[in-house]
Amino acid sequence: MAALSFTSVAAENQPVRTERPAEVTLGPNPAGDWRFFVNGREFPVHGAGGAGAPGLLEKLKEAGGNCVRTWGIDALEVRMSNGDRFMDRAHQLGLMVVPGLWVQHERHGFDYSDPAFITRQRTQLLAQVRAYRDHPAVLAWGLGNEMEGPASPTGSVVVLQEVEELAKLIKQEDPHHPVMTVIAFTGGGKVANLVQYCPSIDILGLNTYGAAGGAGSAIKAAGWTKPFAITEFGVNGFWEVGKTDWGAPYEPTSQEKGRSFYAAHRMVFELNDGKELCVGTFAFLWGWKQEKTDTWFGMFLPTLEKLAPVDAMTKVWTGHWPTNRCPVLNALNSPAAAKRIPPGQEFPATVEVEDPEVGVRLAGQIREYGPERGR
Amino acid sequence: MRSWSGWVIALALAWGLAEPASAQLDYGDFSSATLTGKAWSEMGSQNYEAALGYIAKCLELYEAQAKTMQAGLSDYPPNTPPEATSKFWALNDVGTCLFIRGEIELKRGDKSAAKATFQKLVNELKYAQCWDTNGWFWKPADAAKKKILELEFEQP
């Protein structure tokens, strides 16, 4: 085994040299709620997915987050603003990481009846585990992401069987970190199949948006009894909202998105049936991306300005609102809204915005929507 | 000086204010399902006064029965097959009506009224279920709990 060494900075800014992985266990806390324990201390996951751009890990720490999830191993090597690798910068900031081990999807053309592919994938994933298993920032392994078939009601059995084999192999390679697999939560059928085919999985990761608040009771009803995490959640997905008559989904405002993040986390982690199995949540997406629109899922603008979902997560993670909350867009009205309008004609628009702290600067953009380009 | 059209609008508004919304409503067969369906429909068309009128009638006629049904339950009643829920028709329809009322109050910006309505639904009719035309049941009280949390997110 290659010995890796890491230099980190403790909270008191004292350099600490550690060559050991963190001691990570899973178990109930005194209240009976399942939690991670890191080096013996209870660790509720206050997590986010992404944070891959320079400056975002620092923003996560500032907001009260303690964990970040990636989808693949490459993200761990990205250089951050101080020149360090993502993984090392996270550790310097006191953040834990759930490294994603990417498992290929059948819908992308990978054939799970092909022994050569199976061997190749196993070899690659185990090499990734070996490379990072001793890093002190590793909390758990994120084995796959929606590889079972995102839209499937039951998940592909042959893929789930291979996920089980991979989980067993990872545990042989690294017995010190739990293995979580991540599915697109589309109902109980998939969960029941995971119970049947993947007994080696320690934690169930659920990517779920509109249904996140009720996920705990739903998976219990499907027979899941082990811990789970919400691995992607936040705003309702573009597949879950109303559409214009030409098929464009109505994107919620930032304020509406903030409400969704706030309510979903509190429901699944603090209030609803099943919360006792929930080890925490990962907000999606700590950063920005183009998916359907430029702004649907991103919690930041590319200028690193935070949006209302960041305020929501700051509140649920720390118990306090940030000093400077985002401006509130109460209304954006125009006679042209959601209508087909002729080119070249002018329409008025009114915006109701409030920001009690520092005032607001307004800027506007009109973007073309075309389903064929996903926007 | 007020224009002629301005006076017409003012008179029309005055007439609308003076005339109770209920006088213009068609309650159909007065069943809870009809009243709830009309309330949904009117809310969708942003005819909020009409929607509230149908909701008020549904509560007036069926709230007591809904509470009696709720009192006999300790969990959500089975919803498969979907017809199994018809035994709890008053609970389901009155619960749904309360959710619609809260939504309308939110749309009108009356957050404290909306919160009170959602809380009433959670406290008094928590086992109501409502059929979604997409093919499943949803739980109005769970949706109301989410709305209450969302209201906490507003600026202090």
Chain segment A28-83, per-residue pLDDT in tens: 999 999 999 999 999 999 999 999 999 999 999 999 999 999 999 999 999 988 88
Indicate the residue of A262, A271, A354 with minimum beta-carbon distance to B150: A262
Q: Which residues of A touch B145 (CB under 8 A)?
A: 213, 267, 271-272
DSSP A270: I
Please state whether the peptide bond connecting residue B82 to the residue before it is cis, i.e. omega within 30 degrees of 0: no
pLDDT at A222 over 60: yes
Which residues in chain A have their CB less than 8 angstroms from residue B142's CB? 213-214, 272
Touching A: B residues 109-148, CB under 8 Å: 139, 142, 145-147
Average pLDDT over residues A276-294: 95
Q: What span, in angstroms and rounded, lies between the C-alpha atoms of A247 and A238?
A: 11
Distance from CA of B29 to the nearest CA of A (A): 31
Distance (Å, rounded) from C-alpha B103 to C-alpha B144? 9
pLDDT at A18 over 90: no
Calculate what percentage of chain A has a pLDDT beyond 90: 73
User: Where do the DSSP E strands lie in chain A?
Assistant: 6-9, 15-18, 24-28, 34-38, 41-43, 45-50, 67-69, 96-98, 100-101, 141-145, 179-184, 203-207, 228-233, 278-286, 328-333, 350-354
The residue behind tokens 């185990």 is: A126
Per DSSP, what are the bridge partners of residue A181?
A: A143, A204
- Residue whose pair of structure tokens reads 């969302």 in the numeric block: B150
Give residue-wise pLDDT tens across range A340-350.
Answer: 888 899 999 99
- 3-class secondary structure, A291: strand
C-beta separation of A211 from A239 below 8 A: no
Residues of B within 8 A of A326 (CB-CB) are none
The pLDDT, as a whole number, for residue A45 is: 98
Average pLDDT rounded to a whole number, residues A303-321: 96
Can you tell me the mean pLDDT for A240-254?
89
Q: What angle do CA A245, A248, A254 make, to 5 degrees?
A: 125
Q: What is chain A's mean pLDDT, rounded?
A: 90
* pLDDT of A187: 79
Residue A369 reports pLDDT greater than 80: no
Q: Which residues of chain B have pLDDT under 70?
A: 1-23, 134, 155-156
Cα separation, B148 vs B119, in Å, equals: 7
Q: Residue B156: what pLDDT?
A: 59
Helix (H, G, I), strand (E, B) or coil at A6: strand
The Cα-based distances of A240 to A187, A252, B139 in angstroms read 15, 11, 17
Give the nearest partner residue to B146 out of A263, A325, A354, using CB atoms: A263
Check B155 against A267: CB less than 8 A apart: no
Residue B84 has a pLDDT of 82
How many Å apart are CA A157 and CA A159, to the nearest integer? 5
Please give the pLDDT value at position A374: 43
Name the nearest CA neighbour of A214 among B22, B144, B61, B58: B144
What is the distance in angstroms between the Cα of A28 and the nearest Cα belonging to chain B? 26
Which residue type occupies A370?
A: G
The alpha carbon torsion through A38, A43, A46, A47 (nearest 10 deg) reads 30
CA separation for the pair B97, A325 (Å, rounded): 35
Query: Which tens digits make up the pLDDT trace of B116-153?
Result: 999 999 999 999 999 887 677 889 998 999 999 999 88
CA-closest candidate to residue B88, choices B99, B102, B76:
B76
Q: What is each CA distance from A362 to A38, A171, A327, A347, A351, in whole angstroms?
A: 45, 53, 11, 17, 9
Residue A338 confidence (pLDDT): 83
Distance of CA A138 to the CA centre of its chain: 16
State the average pLDDT over residues A197-218.
Answer: 94
A241 to chain B: which residues are within 8 Å by CB?
none
Q: Nearest CB to B145: which of A259, A267, A328?
A: A267
Of A302, A301, A363, A300, residue with least CA distance to A329: A363
Q: How far, rounded to the nearest angstrom, does the alpha carbon of residue A19 sit from its chain's CA centroid?
A: 28
pLDDT for residue A9: 37
Whether pLDDT at A22 is above 90:
yes
Q: How many angstroms separate the CA atoms of A210 and A231, rounded?
A: 14
Model confidence at A204: pLDDT above 80: yes
End-to-end CA distance of chain A: 47
Following DSSP, what letter does each residue of B73-118 receive, concatenated? -SSPPP-SSGGGGGGGHHHHHHHHHHHHHHHHHHHTT-HHHHHHHH
Total residues found in chain B within this entry: 156
Whether residues A213 and B156 touch (CB distance < 8 A) is answered with no
Q: Detail the DSSP E strand segments found in chain B.
A: 130-132, 136-138
